């Protein structure tokens, strides 16, 4: 009798079940065992904030596949509520413990898959174990938060520590549950590892408009509780915040304990090191999902990519390879998108600070636009930021934010980056156009063309942050507003440097401007500002720029004199 290949998979959330299902399809005769310490397999952990809020009403909807599906339909042995405690690579065995009966046993494997995921980052702060302090990684966590909130009064103060993806999604969830929400972020902006400060400022403003208090640059130092052991205060270096509930949303760390104890190589990021076949340093042990490090497709350096999308790709490749295949995983671009109330925020590739840190000389564009033709009803705004290499025009990354459709722009950019596109390539991509879906030139086309104009020397810009800094320093320059008088009465930047000359009047009023002055031009979206810059260039003005994105990209205060 031919011996059946025994594939043992540790971890049953995303990568593990995907690997199991693919392995079964590739090898209908293989023996497959899944070990999962929780009650369920294939839980949709990315949907937990929406389960907390009640958008997803039923807990069962959070489980993509019940264990019986894998047992009966897929002919696998499923050991839920079972923890793997040790791996012996030489003996090809895994030690396990039944968490209910406490019975220990040993399983032999031919191929082993580590899909152990990640664990929440929790610093060793004083008071971190008080009641009312939560992390959220699984359905029991979500149920615990819901139950705790239900026992609080009408006025519920919630502090979220960390302004990453989960922190912002949970902010919306808590607001929907009539909580007063404060976000504390140690770094200088929201989504600090994903966005540049100019786009992050737009997101922060939107959060504040929805009633969320956002405080950046304020590291937490600990917590204080009441006489019943419930959290009551969040402490920082110089102040404290009253609270009824705390969510720690500080990101996750790879769960590599089993791998490390088994002598497998751990990479520089703290994740398990795996080759392009997703084999670890032991060729009979594979690893995927949050627990492994990946290669960044642009920098070619190791990175962590704790995303359900990446985990599922890993699972399919591993399932193929443990049954004799040779599929490879090329790497990641750090693609991410998050819903922040009715704001959609996406990013891909390198942001500007990451690109510069990687040694690139960068050129950027910031382009406000509409998601489709403005004359077709219902167009919503978005803002696009592109990052490219100055000398070659090679695309390095992009960020898109706003109430409009950002996902399709991020997906186009992810595709372009995967194939090494330049801004010229992006400008020429034949994207779908009809008024309900797009403008004749997509916002990505416009953003690419702005960079091309900068490369040719036609366009010269300052970012909104650079203009704000010049105003705060009291620099002598003209901040030239070329909008209409009506627009000026509705909204304007209040500063002594600001002067209004509408674009339609600019050519005949050139004598009001000095050719020796520094002039920075703005309008609403920068289209008129760029035209004005070219008019001044043609009139031999020597020091003229326009503000990237103009007022639509200006995240700072303006005045509305008529209100």
| Residue 171: partners with Cβ closer than 8 Å, 6 or more residues away | 160, 181, 183, 207, 212, 340
The pair of three-digit structure tokens given for residue 192, joined into one six-digit string: 């600090």
CA distance 299 to 350: 9
Residues 7/29, Cβ–Cβ less than 8 Å = no
Residues 502/485, Cβ–Cβ less than 8 Å = yes
Q: Edge-to-edge strand order for the sheet containing 220-225?
A: 220-225, 231-236, 240-242
Strands (E), 407-462: 461-462
Exposure of 351 in the CB half-sphere (CA atoms within 13 A): 18
Strand pairing class (133-134; 245-248): parallel
CA distance 114 to 258: 9
CA distance 294 to 370: 35
Terminal Cα distance for the chain, rounded: 86
Residues 162/250, Cβ–Cβ less than 8 Å = yes
Phi, psi torsion values for 29, nearest 5 degrees: -100, -10
CA distance 423 to 409: 14
Phi, psi torsion values for 469, nearest 5 degrees: -65, -40
Catalytic residue among 26, 46, 104, 291: 46
Q: How far is CA 73 from CA 21, 76, 233, 339, 387, in A?
A: 10, 8, 51, 35, 48
Q: Is 46 a catalytic residue?
A: yes
Phi, psi torsion values for 304, nearest 5 degrees: -95, 145
Phi, psi torsion values for 537, nearest 5 degrees: -60, -45
**Which amino acids are annotated catalytic?**
46
């Amino acid at each position: 009798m031919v011996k059946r290949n025994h594939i043992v998979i540790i971890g049953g959330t995303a990568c593990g079940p995907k690997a199991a299902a693919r392995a079964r399809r590739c090898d209908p005769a293989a023996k497959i065992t899944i070990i999962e310490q929780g009650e369920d397999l294939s839980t949709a952990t990315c949907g937990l904030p929406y389960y907390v809020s009640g958008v997803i009403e039923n807990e069962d909807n959070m489980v993509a596949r019940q264990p019986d599906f894998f047992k009966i339909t897929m002919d696998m042995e499923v050991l839920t509520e079972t923890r793997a405690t040790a791996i012996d690579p030489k003996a090809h065995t895994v030690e396990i413990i039944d968490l209910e009966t406490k019975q220990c046993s040993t399983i032999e494997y031919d191929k082993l898959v580590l899909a152990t995921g990640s664990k929440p980052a929790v610093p060793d702060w004083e008071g971190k174990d008080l009641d009312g302090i939560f992390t959220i990684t699984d359905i029991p966590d979500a149920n615990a938060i819901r139950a705790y909130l239900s026992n609080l009064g009408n006025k519920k103060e919630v502090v979220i520590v960390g302004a990453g993806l989960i922190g912002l999604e949970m902010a919306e969830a808590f607001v929907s549950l009539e909580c007063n929400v404060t976000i504390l972020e140690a770094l200088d902006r929201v989504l600090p590892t994903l966005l540049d400060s100019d786009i992050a400022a737009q997101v922060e403003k939107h959060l504040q408009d929805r009633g969320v208090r956002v405080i950046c640059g304020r590291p937490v130092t600990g917590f204080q509780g009441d006489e019943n052991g419930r959290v009551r205060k969040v402490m920082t270096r110089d102040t404290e915040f009253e609270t009824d509930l705390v969510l720690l949303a500080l990101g996750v760390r790879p769960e590599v304990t089993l791998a490390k104890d088994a002598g497998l190589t751990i990479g520089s990021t703290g994740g398990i090191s795996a080759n392009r076949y997703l084999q670890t340093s032991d060729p009979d042990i594979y690893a995927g999902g949050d627990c492994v490090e990946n290669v960044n497709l642009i920098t070619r350096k190791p990175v962590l990519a704790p995303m359900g999308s990446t985990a599922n790709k890993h699972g399919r490749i591993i399932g193929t390879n443990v049954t004799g295949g040779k599929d490879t995983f090329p790497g990641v671009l750090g693609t991410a998108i998050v819903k922040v109330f009715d704001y959609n925020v996406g990013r891909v590739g390198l942001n500007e600070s990451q690109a510069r840190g990687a040694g690139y000389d960068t050129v950027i564009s910031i382009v406000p636009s509409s998601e489709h033709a403005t004359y077709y009803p219902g167009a919503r705004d978005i803002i696009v930021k592109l990052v490219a290499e100055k000398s070659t025009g090679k695309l390095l990354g992009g960020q898109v934010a706003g109430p409009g459709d950002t996902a399709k722009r991020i997906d186009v950019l992810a595709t372009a980056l995967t194939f090494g596109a330049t801004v010229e390539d992006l400008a020429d991509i034949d994207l779908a156009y009809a008024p309900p879906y797009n403008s004749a030139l997509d916002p990505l086309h416009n953003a690419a063309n702005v960079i091309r104009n900068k490369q040719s020397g036609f366009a010269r810009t300052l970012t909104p942050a650079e203009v704000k800094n010049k105003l705060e320093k009291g620099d002598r320059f003209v901040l030239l507003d070329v909008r209409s008088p009506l627009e000026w009465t509705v909204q304007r930047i209040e500063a002594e440097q600001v002067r209004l000359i509408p674009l339609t009047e600019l050519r005949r009023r050139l004598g009001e401007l000095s050719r020796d002055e520094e002039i920075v031009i703005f309008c609403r979206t920068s289209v008129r500002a760029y035209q004005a810059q070219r008019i001044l260039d043609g009139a031999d003005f020597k020091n003229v720029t326009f503000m990237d994105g103009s007022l639509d990209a200006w995240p700072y205060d303006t005045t509305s004199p008529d209100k």
